[in-house]
Structure 1
Amino acid sequence: MRKSLAILFLFATLGATGLARADEDDCTVPMAQWQPREAVQRVAAEQGVTVRRIKIDDGCYQINGRDASGRKVEIKVNPQTLEVIDIEYDD
């Protein structure tokens, strides 16, 4: 019985840790503290990205566009600080 409880506790602990890591790139900033979309467009320009679309994903700004070489790029930006959280390229 103790062995079963120990194993159950271990899996529960590992599962909770995995969920916390999955949300590390989510943004939880209240919308009243967000920067305007124009500021997000400036971030894209600084990255050399031509913006196709700016949307909200997981509470963050998500910029979809193309870089200077024409590759598709997706940039996740913190809406308060405008810090780039993640950049993904599609080849």
Structure 2
Amino acid sequence: MTVRARIEAKLTQAFAPVRLEVIDESHLHAGHAGARPEGETHFRVRVVSQAFSGVGRIDRHRRVNALLAEELAGPVHALAIDARAPEEPGRP
């Protein structure tokens, strides 16, 4: 299973999102710290879930980071997070 697929599976299972995007941005970081030639090191996550209703932005990020701790300790060098509740305006 790819790193992206693991991230998608974990986020789906934990948060039952109404919208989820997991974008591999590794190609934008080629040659930078933490980048590997095979990629899957830098990701952007956009997730909209009812689980984030009434939860502040920092706590949302903490929840996502805790869920993906194994990936962040290993193959993932950087993770950009946009986590929102369905009733919130924004991109996701």
TM-score (norm: length of structure 1): 0.34
Specify which structure has the bigger relative contact order, considering alpha-carbon pairs within 8 angstroms and separated by 6 or more residues. 2
More strand by share: 1
TM-score (norm: length of structure 2): 0.33
Structure with higher Rg: it is 1
